[in-house]
Chain A
Amino acid sequence: MGDSVLRSYRFRRERQSSWRELETLMKGAEANGLQSLDSDQLFRLPVLYRAALSSLSVARAISLDKNVVSYLSSLATQAYAFVYGTRDSFRSSFGGFFLDRYPALVWSMRAWVATAMITLVLGTAGGSFLTQRNSDYFYSLVSEEMAGGRSPLSTDEELIEVLKSPEIQNLDSLGAFSSFLFTHNARIGLSCFSIGIAGGIPVLALVFANGLTLGAFAGIHAARGLSFEFWAWVLPHGVTELLAVCLCAAAGLQLGAAVLFPGRRRRLDSLVLQGRRAATVVLGTIPLFMIAALIEGVFRQLILDDGIRYLVAALTAITWLVYFTPVSLNWRLARLSDDGDDRS
């Protein structure tokens, strides 16, 4: 044979043993798990992967053997997926996401979260003020279904009845049940996110309107001197639920900002980039809404004592404060999220 052998065939003859080795290693790992490889093999894997990539580049340049090029392309793709596909254990990634990355992401959007919170508080204060001035506002701020029989004309006893009575029978029908998962506020949260694309102002309007409704309720209770009992009824789950609404709103605002102020990026690129961050924030609120729903559906029915209700409200508030602020993150992560803030 000698010199007369084709250059591309010589190339293949010299390298194919390493291609075969990579194939065998991957096949073994697929069948018996990564643990079945010893440390030498684990060390070889990335080396062989890079060798296959370089073979692919060379083959594309010098070889006209279609089979070799498609084989190498196939091998390189498999090895790429193998080397760069996740091998995270469920626990570590789950922990990593919810313990570090999620709070860091939220912290990086703190300005938007604060904006949403202030809007909500302003709305609530406004609703309460208006309703106390003129109780007729209640009817325009609160829909009949949400009011659940409460109105400025309700007697003190009727109001207390709602605040203090177990509503377990509510959970029985399937319709009530879906609303258990998709509560009114969860819907508000998702809408906030989806209308964020329209530039942010509608998000603030929605949050403000939500605050007005809450304020209207607070107003009719305050008029009877039932404020203490009312907030004991709202806050245990409200802290979590309203926080989740504010996070969704912050995500929506971030999207709006991405559209309005794309910076040096193209508008669409900016939207995709921020959309990914915003969607992650919204997805992370699902557990928050669930926790809130559990507190509302179970705890509030069982515990009627105002003191304990306030205690739980305070506990949830402290928990989220610790969770979402750098108190619980190590300083490196906190700085990382600061960088994220500069970019956004």
Chain B
Amino acid sequence: MSPRSIEVLTPEMVRLDVELAEPGARVGAFCLDGAIIIAGGTILTMIISWFFNVLGIGGGALAAVIMMLWFILRNFYFIGFELGWGGRTPGKKLSSLRVIAADGGALTADQIYARNLTREIEIFLPLLALTAPQVLLPEAPVWVWVATGCWALFIGLLPFVGRHSARLGDLIAGTAVIQDPKDALRPDISAEDSRVDRAGEGGFSFTHRQLDLYGAHELQVLEDVLRRHEENPSSELLDLISEKIVRKIGWHQKPQEMNTERFLRAFYAAQRGRLEHRLVLGERREHKVS
């Protein structure tokens, strides 16, 4: 489990390890959403200004309507999309991010309202406090403005310092933003070479003593190597690993005398069969015997 992942327990009581979104990815998604909002808001502002001009109303009333418009737009854009698209806005969808309930329950509409309306306090108030503190706290002395500014900065930077890189809104609403997992199902390596303890096509046959030397960790490293070999073949690496294995288990052939890929596949299949067999019997071996 990487440090950036959290465990959630689904309502079916199955544990899922989900990977939290990188702060950078969240900023990226937010910028995309922001750009869309600004573009839409600018167009609407122009239309409304033109409309008010035609009617001959201006000044405060126009400013009030436009300020309301931006408030509604920036809040309801996020709420609307996260509700309708299962926790994703266009920016999040493009960045493969998603909002889930951090406790593994169902994501409720209330949580979405809470996490988004908090943004108003999180981003808008700090900005106001930093740029124009006299508006927010008219009578306060300078040190109060400084304190407010620091507090505002802390709230704004929370996603970058916190352990779970959660926004204040996420903490209040009990939500987490996760990276959409995208692991594809690939062919089983053992599919063609899954005969255990028997002379297979390659003529490789391993004894229990030979197979008990390695653990699950080494098996999965071997899996990685073989899968990477499928994508971009590198026989030197296979030779190197074969040599190590040959020496460790005392194999009767030298790597040069055989097809190392077939050897490793056969060894992988036999090794997995052996370890899985022991797993069923309740013995889990993580690492090799040294």
Measured between alpha carbons, how far is A90 from B82 in the docked complex, in Å?
Answer: 10
B194 at the interface (CB under 8 A from A): yes
- Known contacts A81-B180, A86-B86, A87-B84; can you find 12 more A-B pairs with CB under 8 A? A64-B220, A64-B272, A67-B188, A68-B185, A71-B185, A81-B178, A86-B108, A90-B79, A101-B110, A145-B138, A172-B60, A276-B114
Provide the bound-state CA to CA distance between A193 and B194, in Å. 64
B142 CB within 8 Å of chain A: no
Q: Which secondary structure dominates where chain B touches chain A?
A: helix
Contact B59 A71, beta carbon cutoff 8 Å: no
B61, B86, B136, B182: most-surrounded residue (chain A CB, <10 A)? B86
Kindly report which residue of chain A lies nearest to residue B193, judged by CB atoms.
A6
A135 at the interface (CB under 8 A from B): no
Stretch of B11-19, B239-247, B257-265 at the chain-chain interface:
B11-19
Residue pairs across A and B with Cβ atoms less than 8 A apart, 24 shown, are A4-B195, A9-B191, A19-B185, A62-B280, A65-B223, A66-B223, A66-B224, A67-B223, A73-B17, A73-B181, A73-B183, A81-B86, A84-B106, A84-B107, A86-B107, A86-B112, A88-B84, A90-B83, A170-B60, A171-B60, A283-B114, A283-B117, A286-B117, A298-B61
Interface residues in B112-135 by Cβ distance below 8 A to A read 112-114, 117-118, 120-121, 128, 132, 134-135
| Nearest-neighbor residue (CB-CB) of A5 within chain B | B194
B113 near A96 (CB under 8 angstroms)? Answer: no
A164 within 8 A of B: no
Neighbouring B residues of A73 by C-beta, 8 Å: 16-17, 181, 183
A168 located at the interface, meaning its Cβ lies under 8 Å from any Cβ of chain B in the complex = yes
Q: Is A178's beta carbon under 8 Å from chain B?
A: yes
Q: Is the CB of B190 within 8 A of A77?
A: no
The docked-state distance in angstroms from the alpha carbon of A275 to that of B135 is 28
Q: Is the CB of A71 within 8 A of B184?
A: yes
Chain A, 1-36, CB within 8 A of any chain B CB: 1, 4-9, 12, 16, 19-20
Interface centre among B59, B110, B269 (most CB of A within 10 A): B110
Q: Mark A100-130, 1 if CB is under 8 A from B, else 0.
A: 0100000000000000000000000000000
Question: Is B283 interfacial (CB-CB < 8 Å)?
Answer: no
Contact check, B83 vs A93: say whether CB atoms are below 8 A apart. yes
CB-defined contacts of A174 to chain B, threshold 8 Å = 63
| Distance in angstroms between the alpha carbons of A74 and B186 in the assembled complex | 13
1/0 per residue, CB under 8 A from A, across B244-287: the answer is 00000000000000000000000001001101110110000000
Binding site for A on B (CB under 8 A): 8, 10-12, 14, 16-18, 59-61, 63-64, 67-68, 71, 79-80, 82-84, 86-87, 98-101, 104-110, 112-114, 117-118, 120-121, 128, 132, 134-139, 172-174, 178, 180-186, 188-191, 194-196, 198, 216, 219-220, 223-224, 227, 269, 272-273, 275-277, 279-280
Q: Which residues of B contact A283 (CB under 8 A)?
A: 113-114, 117-118
Inter-chain CA distance A331–B107, complex, in Å, is 26
CA gap between A223 and B76 in the complex, in Å: 48
Q: Is the CB of B180 within 8 A of A279?
A: no
Contact status B83-A9, CB under 8 Å: no
B272 with A8: CB separation less than 8 A: yes
Evaluate contact between B272 and A76: CB separation under 8 angstroms.
Answer: no
Chain B residues closer than 8 Å to A168, beta-carbon distance: 59-60
Chain A residues within an 8 Å CB radius of B17: 73
Query: CB-nearest residue of chain A relative to B138?
Result: A145
A80 at the interface (CB under 8 A from B): yes
CB-based closest 5 A-B pairs: A171-B60, A85-B86, A93-B109, A74-B181, A74-B183
**Is residue A63 contacting chain B, with contact meaning CB distance below 8 A?**
yes
> Which residues in chain A, 27-76, are within 8 Å of chain B measured between CB atoms?
50, 53-54, 56-57, 61-68, 70-71, 73-74, 76
Task: Check: A181 CB closer than 8 A to any chain B CB.
Answer: yes
Task: Give the chain B neighbours of A297 by CB distance below 8 A.
Answer: 64
Known pairs A64-B275, A74-B182, A279-B114; A177 contacts B219 (CB<8 A): no
Q: How far is it, in angstroms, between the C-alpha of A297 and the C-alpha of B109 when the chains are bound?
A: 32
**Contact between A68 and B180 (Cβ–Cβ < 8 Å)?**
no
A320 at interface, CB cutoff 8 A: no
